[in-house]
Amino acid sequence: MAKAEIRPGNCGFTTIVQATAEGRRCTLSIHSDCAAIQRLARELTEVDPFEEISLRKGVPQSLQMGMKHCTHAACPVPVGIIRAVEVEMGLALPIEMTIRLEKTPKP
């Protein structure tokens, strides 16, 4: 099982994703205090890992569910779900991802 803890920032809602390989499918357990992610979690319980990791076959299910349920376009949860799936399937290393933001004051 691979686990991702996603802390989006301003909203303050932490999401925990657990991905478990079952043959060529991956089951998902997603827990969050965010109502939008809770709706996403009810609908997104299993994915085909090889369809999740590529944009060449269309938009991955995790991103589709993000577009359907998330109210904020910059929500990192759908990408975090994909990364958990990749790690569980041995398609990525379990290395921390970071986006550092800062704003430089105008002179």
pLDDT single digits (tens) 23-37: 889 999 999 999 999
**Residue 96 domain flag:** no
Q: What is the pLDDT of residue 15?
A: 97
**Residue 76 domain flag:** yes
Q: Does the pLDDT value for residue 62 go beyond 90?
A: yes
CATH of the domain at 7: 3.30.390
**Residue 103 domain flag:** no
Q: For the chain, give the mean pLDDT.
A: 94
Structure tokens at 89: 């399937």
Count of structural domains within the chain = 1
Q: How many residues does the chain have?
A: 107
**Structure confidence at residue 87 as a pLDDT band (50, 70, 90):** very high
SS3 for the chain is CEEEEECCCCCCCCEEEEEEEECCEEEEEEEECCHHHHHHHHHCCEECHHHHCCCCCCCCHHHHHHHHHCCCCCCCHHHHHHHHHHHHCCCCCCCCCCCCCCCCCCC
Per-residue pLDDT, averaged over 81-103, amounts to 94
- Residue-number span of the structural domain to which 31 is assigned: 2-88
**Residue 36 domain flag:** yes
